[in-house]
Amino acid sequence: MSRAVAPEKAEAEAGTRRSRNTGLLRRVWRERSAYLFIAPGVIIFSVFTLAALMFAFYLTFHRWSIIEPDKPYVGTQNYQDMIHDERFVRSVLNTIYFTGASVPLTMIIGLGLALLLNQQIRGRAIFRTAYYLPVVTPFVVSALLWKWLYNGEFGLFNYYLLRTRIIDEPLLWLSSQNLAMPAVVLMTVWSGVGFSMVVYLAGLQAIPAQLYESAKLDGAGMWRRIRYVTIPLLRPTTLFLLVIGIIGSLQVFTQIFVMTSGGPVDRTTTMVYYMYLWAFKYYDMGYASTLAFALFAMLLVFTALQLRLFRDGGTQ
């Protein structure tokens, strides 16, 4: 009895699958105009993203110089060289240092400004606009401006520090091994704090006013209201800024390229700038592609951890 039922059941399942496939094809044909509209985007994405990604991965297994005709296959040699490359390790440490310094400062200052500009003060719209202007200023323009401010001979920073007798001699901000990276971090915080401020403002305005009134009736002061009402309810906003900030800081390039060129002595050479050197100065696209996939792996790991943190935070 069971042997007779089994073929009938299998045939019924096969018929169900055929009907589903037929129904899917009919729906695709019925909505064919939609697929025609999205086809250009799909083609562009496939050619300039997927194909480029696959070719870059192919390059990692070759010694691919753009000025030499021979492009030998080297297997995993590029990956082995990367692991033992001291300059690459230095670039990773510099990138982590930059990220660990710039992201928290940008978020903390942005939160402080958002708390201040969320109050009923005169000229609030003007202040919001002024703090947001660096965000819409091109990064190259901002980097050139701060490079001039940091100039050891006629920069405004040294001028006012000397006038106030805080320092006795001009500081070589971008030429000092100890000051170069903090100087770049300061410029980055200045240019990004406006974005954090706007996002935090949106989060603050979404908090019900009744919660603050209830906390105030219970005797909670300003700091207690911020600690027990504002900060917990801003947790999704904070995690969003953390994800965006870390992804952006791991790919830092423009300010390094314009202000320090990776110096002095590789103290500001980040992963993306080091990748740029191998691609467009040493002309080794194979090793540069290997560095790119190492950065991709780091971004993937950090993003996965942050998304899990975001998910856990959102469920609480």
What would the pLDDT profile of 124-180 be if each residue is shown by its tens digit?
889 999 999 999 999 999 999 999 999 988 899 999 999 999 999 999 999 999 999
Are residue 98 and residue 243 in the same domain, yes or no? yes
Name, in order, each residue with C-beta under 8 angstroms of 47's C-beta and a sequence gap of 6 or more: none
Residue 96 lies in a domain: yes
Residue 67 lies in a domain: no
Rounded to an integer, the average pLDDT of 50-66 is 92
| 196, pLDDT greater than 60 | yes
Are residue 213 and residue 269 in the same domain, yes or no? yes
Residue 71 lies in a domain: no
- DSSP labels, 78-118: HHHHHHT-HHHHHHHHHHHHHHHHHHHHHHHHHHHHHHHHT
Residue 51 lies in a domain: no
Are residue 127 and residue 252 in the same domain, yes or no? yes
List beta partners, residue 73: 62
Rounded to an integer, the average pLDDT of 180-192 is 96
Are residue 16 and residue 116 in the same domain, yes or no? no
pLDDT at 3: 47
Are residue 289 and residue 163 in the same domain, yes or no? yes
What pLDDT digit, counting tens, does each position of 253-281 carry? 999 999 999 989 999 999 999 999 999 99
Residue 172 lies in a domain: yes
Residue 21 lies in a domain: yes
Are residue 238 and residue 297 in the same domain, yes or no? yes
Residue 50 lies in a domain: no
pLDDT class of 296 with cuts at 50, 70, 90:
very high
Are residue 34 and residue 178 in the same domain, yes or no? no
Are residue 22 and residue 119 in the same domain, yes or no? no
What pLDDT digit, counting tens, does each position of 93-133 carry? 999 999 999 999 999 999 999 999 998 888 888 999 999 99
Q: Where are the alpha helices (DSSP H) in 137-234?
A: 139-149, 156-163, 180-205, 209-217, 222-225, 231-233
**Number of domains, the chain:** 2
The residue range of the domain holding 19 is 2-44
pLDDT class of 306 with cuts at 50, 70, 90:
confident
pLDDT, averaged across the chain: 88
Q: Is 172 helix (H, G, I), strand (E, B) or coil?
A: coil
The model's pTM is: 0.84
